Amino acid sequence: MFIRVLTDQPGLEDWGEATTEHHKMAIAAQIQHELRPRLVGLDPTNIEHIWQMLHRQFWWRRGVVHTSAIRGVDIALWDIAAKAAGLPLFKMLGGQVRQHVRLYVRYGPEMAGKDHQQAAEWMLGNGYRAFKHGTGARSMPFDSARQAQIAMEEHALFRELLPDAELMIDCAGLFDMQSAYELLKGLRQYKPLFIEEPTALMDTPDSTKRLKRGFGEHRLALG
């Protein structure tokens, strides 16, 4: 989901990205019917004012549709402000921090047709030293505890295939608190770099905070 933001100065425009899976049409409607009328005529370089206005002027503030819509606008406004200032965006955000950025590869659709062994070989052959996988084949009917066990087995297999790589797991918000706790306990021995969205309660950080109390050494990502 890409958002194009135009200004009254020719050529001073840019794009933002607001994709949230399974909510694309709702986000498009939110931008067109709720955000756009509030934005037309404003100074696009007053980014903090605009963000505060879009966040505060709504009754329901924290829903995934509204926050994704704001995000897309915010990205575009930062690029517009950088163009207006005649600076690259990284200069606007404080300048260069490092000379290179580490990358990881994701075990997903781009590896369609590859089994675990082939995926590991592809990763190493292409120079990656960090790898993120999902929770394995879905249990049918879905069972949170069984799915946690499948995810642990998948992680153990990749650790065996990639003993020297950094491993991560994206849980896609599948697990209830008890299953997430058991999953983290089972993954502890494999020392994952981070565990992404372990619980289904990702609208607030409360569930992640509860898990952190028991597994403070792991990086739990809200996604």
For residue 119, pLDDT beyond 80: yes
Q: Are 121 and 158 in contact (CB under 8 A)?
A: no
Cα–Cα dist 112/37, whole Å:
43
How does pLDDT run across 1-36, given as a tens digit for each residue? 999 999 999 999 999 999 988 899 999 999 999 999
* pLDDT of amino acid 159: 96
> What homologous superfamily does CATH list for 105-221?
Enolase-like C-terminal domain (3.20.20.120)
Of 110, 112, 179, 177, give the one whose Cα is nearest residue 143. Answer: 179
- Give whichever of 113-117, 135-139, 202-206 has the largest mean pLDDT: 135-139
| Percentage, residues of the chain above pLDDT 90 | 69
The whole-number pLDDT of residue 110 equals: 62
User: In Å, what is the CA distance from 165 to each residue of 14, 66, 103, 192, 223?
Assistant: 38, 37, 12, 10, 21
Residue 60 has pLDDT above 80, yes or no: no
Provide mean pLDDT across the span 131-142: 92
Q: How far apart are CA 56 and CA 70, in angstroms?
A: 11
| pLDDT for 21 | 85
State the average pLDDT over residues 55-74. Answer: 88
Q: How many residues belong to the chain? A: 223
Give the domain ranges of the chain: 2-92, 105-221
- Can you give the pLDDT at residue 101? 87
Predicted pLDDT at 87: 95
pLDDT at residue 109, as a whole number: 61
pLDDT at residue 142, rounded to an integer: 93
| Residue 161 tokens, joined | 């295939």
Confidence of residue 214 (pLDDT cuts 50, 70, 90): confident
Rounded CA-CA distance 142/127 in Å is 36
Rounded CA separation 120/118 (Å): 5
Mean model confidence pLDDT for the chain: 90
Answer CATH for 2-92 from 3.90.1150.10, 3.20.130.10, 1.10.287.990, 3.30.390.10: 3.30.390.10
109 Rama sector, left if φ>0, alpha if ψ -120 to 50, beta otherwise: alpha
pLDDT exceeds cutoff 70 at 166: yes
**pLDDT tens readout for residues 29-55:** 999 999 999 999 999 999 999 999 999
- The closest alpha carbon to 191, from 156, 140, 142, 154, belongs to 156
